[in-house]
Amino acid sequence: MPRLVLALSLLTLAMSCGPSPEVEAINALTGVAATGQPLYATNCQTCHGADGKSGTTMRNVAATAKSNPTRLISIVVIGGFSMPSFSGRLSNQEVADILAHAKSL
């Protein structure tokens, strides 16, 4: 439980300081939903579901992609809760493509 509290505190602190340069760089990119679909299937679908709404965690990733994409990008980059950081595992363009796919769900 203390680890969860620490993780939530760090995530809240990071998010309250504004987006990181990496998040801002991703936000500036134009993602391609068709390119993001197989990346989403490989990296996201197991936990978030094929529809972005029926997974085991963050059930409404599709709605978050549409309503607050910066928050979703930050979570992908930083990690949080039970989600690992994808910084260094996915390129900025791949994250933008996944986001575009999630917005299309």
> What pTM did the predictor assign?
0.79
Adjacent-strand bridge partners of 90: 87
Measured on CA atoms in the order 80, 83, 86, 89, is the torsion positive or negative?
positive
Query: How far is it, in rounded angstroms, from Cα 64 to Cα 102?
Result: 9
Q: Are 36 and 100 in contact (CB under 8 A)?
A: yes
- The string of pLDDT tens digits covering residues 41-85 is 999 998 888 999 876 666 688 888 999 999 999 999 998 878 899
Query: What domains appear along the chain, each with residue ranges and CATH number?
Result: 2-104 (1.10.760.10)
pLDDT at residue 80 in the model = 80
CA–CA dist 38, 45 (Å, integer): 10
